[in-house]
Amino acid sequence: MRIAAGIEYDGTAFCGWQRQQGVRTVQEAVERAFSVVADHAVTAVCAGRTDTGVHATAQVVHFDTSARRSLRSWTLGANSNLPSEVVVRWVREVPERFHARFSARARAYRYVILNRWVRPALLRDRVTWLHHRLDVQQMRSAASLLLGRHDFSTFRALQCQAKSPVRTLHRCEVTRVGDLVYIDVEADGFLHHMVRNIAGVLMAVGKGDRDPQWVAELLALKDRTRGGVTAPPQGLYFTRVVYGPQWALPQEAVLPRFA
């Protein structure tokens, strides 16, 4: 039997999603919790790996089990065995052909910037702080140039192992609510550090360091070494995975808001 689950987590104290020897990871915590409920070891496959310090409001995982439990028991049992920074939001039984990663049609992220002249205290691990006033209109102009299908080599980490740098960006929106600036992106897939690199470029444009047309130049260069600063991880949230209707899974974006 295959089980799918929606996971929310604060990534501050974890070394990313992927299980690694000798460090604390979200995957290890999730697998341990579901293994207790199943009464056998399970391996969780996620829709999209997140890096150290990155959060998720709507990560999706699947795992296989021979155990028979109610959906309520899977949910409550796992949550009673998870650390406080991780919670299972929902559980569904799915066909064995479902795959959390390969069945996904699109993924979405939100990058949150606190844009004021004094640093945050309560939100220090939840947002990226930038004291320079950002010009959101300029950021929107730059973001529009990223839409569509492109070679995003300039926007991926040098160590990215993806076979192709080509992705289709369906949405890249910049909004301001008081002192908070949100960057919302959705694509058919993302490269390693792609969202954080996009955020770094848009922040440079918003500060006035670069013109919006710089984005088009970066896409044409296909050279990560020319792509500017990678934005910090704590402002990044994995907010949605889009699946086909045949899987009948919750898919509404779960957006972090602090104002």
Encode pLDDT of 27-67 as tens digits.
999 999 999 999 999 999 999 999 999 999 999 999 999 99
Catalytic residues: 51
pLDDT over threshold 80, residue 191: yes
Do domains 2-103 and 106-239 share one topology? The answer is yes
pLDDT over threshold 80, residue 139: yes
Which residues have CB under 8 Å from 218's CB, separation 6+?
154, 155, 201, 226, 227, 228
pLDDT over threshold 80, residue 259: no
Among 45, 65, 40, 51, CA closest to 9: 51
Among 194, 188, 184, CA closest to 243: 188
Q: What is the residue-averaged pLDDT of the chain?
A: 96
Does pTM top 0.85 for this prediction? yes
Domain boundaries, the chain: 2-103, 106-239
> What CATH class is the domain 106-239?
alpha beta
pLDDT over threshold 90, residue 161: no
Q: Residues 194-209: pLDDT tens digits?
A: 999 999 999 999 999 9
Q: Residues 209-218: pLDDT tens digits?
A: 999 999 999 9
What number does CATH give the domain 2-103? 3.30.70.580
